[in-house]
Amino acid sequence: MNYSRCRDYMLGKPEAYEGFPFGPDVSVMKVANKMFATLVGETGISSMNLKCNPDEAIMLRDIFPAISPGYHMNKRHWNTIVLDASVPVGELERMIDHSYTLVVKGLPRAGRMALEIRHGKELLYL
């Protein structure tokens, strides 16, 4: 999975949008003003940061050499994934879904309900 495929997949999430608060080289994906991913390296080898359950974060780091503690992020809750084709596409999509879901579940009740009304309850159970 390359930069553009990751970007398209992330922006395909309900209410997801892209911003550049850290400069033009770091794409930040958000839902309801909360970050669920960063994506860097449109040219060359790309990488992304994704939110993750702390226990799962450690497990993924042990399994995949391309996954390390989140660069410039809370190392307990974020992983950095180098998009070097060593992590299967299905696993990358699952990790993106997981990050998005963690952020949505952490929204205040009113924010979650607004998303559910617009996109259905399955939104929270990806």
What is the chain's pLDDT, residue by residue, as a tens digit (126 residues)? 899 999 999 999 999 999 999 999 999 999 999 999 999 997 788 999 999 999 999 999 999 999 999 888 888 899 999 999 999 999 999 999 999 999 998 888 887 777 777 776 655 544
Q: What is the pLDDT of residue 118?
A: 73
Q: Which two tokens stand for residue 26?
A: 């770091």
Q: What is the pLDDT of residue 125?
A: 46
Is 99 within 8 Å of 36 (Cβ atoms)?
yes
Q: What is the pLDDT of residue 26?
A: 93
CA distance 18 to 42: 14
The dotted CATH code for 3-125 is 3.90.1150.30
Question: Where exactly are the structural domains of the chain?
Answer: 3-125
CA distance 75 to 17: 24
Q: What is the pLDDT of residue 7?
A: 96
Q: Which helix (H) or strand (E) holds 58?
A: helix 54-63
Q: What is the pLDDT of residue 50?
A: 97
Instruction: State whether residue 12 is helix, strand or coil.
Output: coil
